[in-house]
Amino acid sequence: MDRIRIVGGNELHGVIPISGAKNAALPLMIASLLTDDTLTLENVPHLADVEQLIRILGNHGVDISVNGRRERQGESYARTVHFTCRNIVDTTAPYELVSKMRASFWVIGPLLAREGKARVSLPGGCAIGTRPVDLFIEGLQALSANIEIDSGYVNATAPAGGLIGARYTFPKVSVGATHVLMMAATLANGTTVLGNAAREPEVVDLANCLNAMGAKITGQGTATITIEGVRSLSGARHRVLPDRIETGTYAMAVAMTGGDVILEDTDMALLDTALEAIRRAGAEITETNSGIRVVRNGAGIKPVDIVTDPFPGFPTDLQAQFMGLMTMAKGTSHITETIFENRFMHVQELARLGAKISLSGQTAKIEGVSRLKGAPVMATDLRASVSLVIAGLAAEGETMVSRVYHLDRGFERLEEKLTRCGAHVERVSD
């Protein structure tokens, strides 16, 4: 099994190309189930989760081809992928596939909208919390779907004439449920209004793609999204937006080590709140013609308190990375997690490097230390794993991160991108 070996102490200097967003690519890929025409997606990242979803969509009858690789310094960092689903050959998403990736549950919306039925395995819990699917079920029921849960599967059927538009207000903000109901409502009869909807850029990206396919969606990016149902959708060509989580992660890496890096092909507007927190920690962040420049020269890291919140708040997917940065701040900081329970599992691993962190409920108190020391650590989930990389970049000596398959789910060529900027990072195969 692969591990990542890091020898800390090097500043970062150079250019890091930012990949297409995994969290945008997955729902966009699933949207291909809504049409029998070809949906072409540009800037699709090469990640384990993307490859798993390709296998899942193939099970439903989606034909997939890849071309138009974009070369960058001799390596491919993006792909153009064509998705064509002439006929849905299977409306069942089995446990053995859904259990490997929660986002695969989202196929329930397009399958139900296009075929009038879907049988999708419950995804179960995950490392960072239970993340129940009750909002998905309640929302689809609001669109007149009949839903029964039996033997670990959600069995959903639409009325004879198809789903029926309705007003549904989410009791709490859910990005996944917003994706699913928005996709399902595109082919429903009548108008659907989603209240307290997620405002994340990935939701906006999906809505824009669906509109390019012929949907009639307005209000994306606000808390109220309106979808006027249409009879059918066509194909389209759409570019996946830059990965704001990857952008923030590398910005924090520069803030941690010091240096001067251009984050290329990304957009500051995607993560204003996170970038402002990194500025408060002592980094200079400016917009350039090609992306974002992050600089930290000499001065130490300042302590910053943050609270995770739905967009436009501080992203929960950057919480672990920011904690890694705060471990060497000159003072005490606090991080409060409001989105997921059990999302502090990286605390014990950071402590192995010498971090001083204490927990009280959903708040972590981080007392900055003057130095970290490399040690063997273990990744517990996708975002926790990269927080260990950030800490390891500044730690004295060698840090060995195991279970890096978590990293491969969401960070494209991480060790190559960091190495090109002067970090000592390498993948080790046992």
Task: Give which of 404, 377, 385, 375 is closest to 343, Cα–Cα.
Answer: 385
215 has pLDDT over 90: yes
Q: What is the mean pLDDT of residues 131-136?
A: 80
- Residue 181 CB coordination number (10 Å): 28
**What pLDDT, in 10s, does the model give residues 257-297?**
999 999 999 999 999 999 999 999 999 999 999 999 999 98
pLDDT classification of 75: cutoffs 50, 70, 90: very low
**What pLDDT, in 10s, does the model give residues 9-68?**
999 999 999 999 999 999 999 999 999 999 999 999 999 899 999 999 999 999 999 974
Report DSSP state, residue 211. H
For the sheet containing 424-429, what is the strand order?
A: 376-378, 398-402, 2-7, 424-429
pLDDT classification of 298: cutoffs 50, 70, 90: confident
pLDDT at 124: 58
pLDDT classification of 71: cutoffs 50, 70, 90: very low
Cα–Cα distance, 146 to 150 (Å, whole number): 13
Residues sharing a CB contact under 8 Å with residue 143, sequence separation 6 or more, in sequence order: 158, 163, 164, 165, 166, 168, 181, 184, 185, 188, 192
299 has pLDDT over 90: no
The stretches of 67-200 forming alpha helices (DSSP H) are 95-98, 108-115, 134-142, 175-186
pLDDT classification of 101: cutoffs 50, 70, 90: confident
pLDDT at 73: 42
Contact 270, 251 (CB under 8 A): no
Cα–Cα distance, 164 to 148 (Å, whole number): 18
Please give the backbone phi and psi of residue 145, each rounded to the nearest 5 degrees, phi first.
-75, 145
Average pLDDT value for the chain: 93
Query: What letter represents residue 92's amino acid?
Result: T
Q: Which of 85, 126, 209, 421 is catalytic?
A: 126
Domain borders along the chain are 2-19+242-429, 22-230
pTM of the model: 0.94
Contact 333, 304 (CB under 8 A): yes
- Name the fold adopted by 2-19+242-429: UDP-n-acetylglucosamine1-carboxyvinyl-transferase; Chain (3.65.10)
pLDDT at 345: 85
CA 70 centroid distance within chain: 22
Q: What is the mean pLDDT of residues 192-204?
A: 98
**What pLDDT, in 10s, does the model give residues 309-319?**
999 999 999 99
Cα–Cα distance, 242 to 415 (Å, whole number): 19
Between 3.30.479.30, 2.30.110.10, 3.65.10.10, 3.40.50.300, what CATH number should domain 22-230 receive?
Answer: 3.65.10.10
SS3 content of the chain, % helix, strand, coil (to 5): 35, 30, 35
| Residues 321, 375, 17: CA angle, nearest 5 degrees | 40
Lowest mean pLDDT among 71-80, 139-148, 341-350, 382-391: 71-80
Any catalytic annotation for residue 126? yes
pLDDT classification of 410: cutoffs 50, 70, 90: confident
